[in-house]
Structure 1
């Protein structure tokens, strides 16, 4: 992310002009009879995003992706062939004979596909919307009954109007997946999305382990997120269906002129980025995981994390470290256990809960 575009303006304009001649006036749509060949691209109707081939400054690999189109910093929001890059400029993005959107190399080998069925051959279209969503349809229906959408298969970026959620009836989840590195968009270790629990929460996973939890959604905010009332709340909400079997989180800002997106970076940080025209770059506007105490289970069971203390972890009253040697080395993951007779367990547990509540309230 955030790499300066190295290609010159003139070739880009020539490529754009050539592509518009190739596919007609609908420059935001790829039809079954046409292809995009490296370095060609299509542009959403309002010019906000483009879909085409790109490379990173420190790599010769070629990818097909969606990028912001009108800013001078290369900003990638979605990658098709993230795990199977092209090794040269022979790539083609096209609609196959059976109606799938595919990325091919120079040997006509499929490196990526939408893998959808119920398609109408020779009638399938792929349209790039100003929201950044790439939509596959049976014909020109403007996305009203899409067969496949990039918003349902995100990379590492959470864009406005994207619905990050879980369907308990089907088991389907929509969540972002981090990159492996700053110039490597292949699947990383972290993912981010919504987990219903008893009450929906935003969660970051490190592989299959919970890495961060936002706290429950109370109808207005996630109660565990600092500054959500002032920074994160505008246009953000969580939706549940009537029978509580489907949940999703989404956002849409009232200021339409503001360019903003949220990224799950390769180190597991979930960061909001705003475009600053004066600086000519993206700036971080919001970030969770600010301190070590923000990590889920940092101090283990019955441990208390206080970022103002050293060490940051301590045991609740009546508890002691489960492994004293590890605890002294700063490994607090095993937490604490009750160090008094079993008959006092109920009383001590109540004290521990009260103590943790005081820390959360700032007492």
Structure 2
């Protein structure tokens, strides 16, 4: 037997085993045996240190394992299911019961033990079957000269440059793609720059690692909270972070062994748990939807349950309806908050609380009071607003001024409380605790003053006097301002006064003379172009700042309504993928002053035979991602849910680095609270980009923008316009052509020939696939923009798209024969309702 075979055979021998071996042989042989064992252990130590990392010329085959340097975690192949299938996964090495914490090929198991795992020269991880076909492939990271894959003692599988180990420079890591388990150090949440979302998805069953029906993720709407969902239905909510723990998990207390961290900044929002090195603990989303934390106990050699959610009836989401409060130690468990009564008392009599409660007395904004409710799990924060620097008194003032504000609370309960959290919708999913919970101040009618403590009543009297004096002062200021406006002879839009105009605009007002000088008196040499709104001019302010000036043309197809619309929305939006509005002018001319974006609009590159050569695949994929992140901000992260309604190539501007910026908000609409859909008699938008339900029925929603985005993605990939597209083999538009190629397995033929040599095939195919998902005929089939951003930034399996809407653009004209056929212009269509 060769030395190599001997080493493999005796690999797991321990020192006691070697001693036993030595006692069973003669004395000379015992010396040789012990010497061999010592050599083996030296080799074992050296080989173990080397087995945490493999390079591009190595692979891990079924039966071989990758072991972290400290021996904490192991990567290899395991069996699951009936009949058994093979999966590549990571588990705890030192725990006797195999406990899987991560699975690579959840949706594509291997049928036998022929699998092989390696890292490519491009830095991608690939899992191959016995035929050499790709079963699972990680995202291609930034190319490096010498990529290696390493299993860390944290359980994180990383791809890095062989010459660097800085965690900030990892090219790929499994911690970004969790399955059903959260281990110490793993982030659960969002990269706000890329829109990448790390979340848990349950196994389908206890023996089937494929994705199940339950997800657990950080919800970025309003103030972040974690949601446990079954499909799209919320089953449990942790409540917002209060500085120490989640509001709805009072037993999640920091201790010497566990430390919980919640991070919220411009770049990231995430939750993670940091443990002492000797503590072994994991949080797992079970196939039945239970979220459980287990800790390993060496003494009993088993996992001990530490926390489980949901734990009782009051943890079920919205179990008592709006303004209802759940308390598990009372019977019945649901009751209305003080000052509220059941919406339908008959239903409450039969223990059906789903419709919740309503106010006993109606609100009167200027006379309302705030009543303190204590020891609560704070309500659902999906329709909330927050400020980390304000105190509780400032928070009350802000809430009182806004009639839509229903409640307020401290953001952080540490050190007496700090920060401000406001609610702008019905208060849902409240529960009461006997010893824990937080204070919540709810807006109530003045007639409910009996609910106020005596000291709070005195405070309200003082506040009332202060407000009265404030109103007198405000009237004086308004009078002075109106006189100033008249003196300056400012020509205001009909129906507005000067002060209201200034308050609405909420951004700097430019003098007409200043803008005229900056644009050389609107010289034709400074003209950048012209759209449905009017001409756009380049200008230079006195301080050297370059600007773009958009003028409302006298014969513009858009009017004063669109002008005000754009000012009101864009002035409140701040995102790297949205154009920045610097100010406006409302004197003789109506002008919008924007940051200057040097490379003009996307269509001037994409559809120009010479200019489009500057858009290689990297630039196009960056534009696809940037537009998606901008729309995600509009639909989800901005204070109001904003529907753009005119997403198209000419409304995407490119900066000096070809980063996209969405522009032209003249047709935008906003939704408040939980609104997701509306109807209009005034259908506006651009043929070729409008969704079917909007163009034909006037129904618009965030999914209308998703449809337009999908059209734009297919245009970016192909370099062809959707409208006016012709093909000798059929009469479909670009959407129909892309769909036809996809169903025939020829999607790469859609790709613009100019980028075929520079493109990533996986990125191109994924972009086409996502584009087709976005343009599906039924709006409910289309993904949300948050899902689009996630799909672009991950390698998750994508669902098959259904037939696109407006398979042939003539469908629209056949249903509306009276409409003309404009070419790439914004239209306003009036349909009878």
Scaled by the length of structure 2, the TM-score of the pair is 0.38
Find out whether 1:45 has 2:69 as its counterpart.
Answer: yes
SS of structure 1 residue aligned to 2:76: strand
CA gap of 1:359–1:111, structure 2 versus 1, over 3 A, is closer
Partner of 2:165: 142
Partner of 1:3: none
CA gap of 1:187–1:264, structure 2 versus 1, over 3 A, is same
Partner of 1:223: 247
Separation of aligned partners in 2, 1:167 and 1:25? 33
Q: Which runs of structure 2 are paired with 1:99-248 in the superposition (5 Å)?
A: 99-120=123-144, 123-144=146-167, 145-229=169-253, 234-241=258-265, 244-248=266-270
Q: CA RMSD in A?
A: 3.4
Partner of 1:26: 50
CA gap of 1:190–1:11, structure 2 versus 1, over 3 A, is farther
Partner of 2:271: 249
Separation of aligned partners in 1, 2:116 and 2:95? 25
Q: 1:74-124: CA deviations, max 9, x gaps? A: 100000001111111111112235431111111222111112243247x22
Larger deviation, residues 158-167 vs 203-212: 203-212
Partner of 2:363: 346
Q: 1:262 aligns with which of 263, 283, 292?
A: 283
Larger deviation, residues 352-361 vs 304-313: 352-361
Partner of 1:71: 95
Separation of aligned partners in 1, 2:318 and 2:93? 41
Separation of aligned partners in 1, 2:358 and 2:433? 23
Q: 1:19-70: CA deviations, max 9, x gaps? A: x89x895210121111111111110000000011011386511100000001
After TM superposition, the runs of 4+ consecutive aligned structure 1 residues lying more than 6 A away are 349-353
Partner of 1:303: 324
SS of structure 2 residue aligned to 1:73: coil
Separation of aligned partners in 1, 2:345 and 2:194? 42
Separation of aligned partners in 1, 2:11 and 2:166? 28
Separation of aligned partners in 1, 2:175 and 2:80? 23
SS of structure 2 residue aligned to 1:239: strand
Extract unaligned runs of 5+ from structure 1. Answer: 1-9
Return the index of the structure with the highest Cα Rg.
2
SS of structure 2 residue aligned to 1:228: coil
Q: In proportion to residue count, which structure has more strand?
A: 1
Q: 2:306 aligns with which of 285, 293, 312?
A: 285
Larger RCO (CA within 8 A; separation ≥ 6)? 1
Partner of 1:276: 297
CA gap of 1:239–1:39, structure 2 versus 1, over 3 A, is same
Separation of aligned partners in 1, 2:300 and 2:257? 25
Extract unaligned runs of 5+ from structure 2. Answer: 1-8, 14-40, 377-429, 436-833
Scaled by the length of structure 1, the TM-score of the pair is 0.82
The alpha-carbon deviation at position 322 of structure 1 amounts to: 4.7
Contact 1:264–1:271 (8 Å) recurs in 2: yes
The alpha-carbon deviation at position 304 of structure 1 amounts to: 2.6
Contact 2:78–2:88 (8 Å) recurs in 1: yes
Contact 1:136–1:143 (8 Å) recurs in 2: no
Contact 2:325–2:432 (8 Å) recurs in 1: no
Separation of aligned partners in 2, 1:293 and 1:245? 34
SS of structure 2 residue aligned to 1:52: strand
Find out whether 1:313 has 2:330 as its counterpart.
Answer: no
Contact 2:127–2:136 (8 Å) recurs in 1: yes
Contact 1:269–1:289 (8 Å) recurs in 2: yes
Separation of aligned partners in 2, 1:236 and 1:59? 40
The alpha-carbon deviation at position 139 of structure 1 amounts to: 2.6
SS of structure 2 residue aligned to 1:47: coil
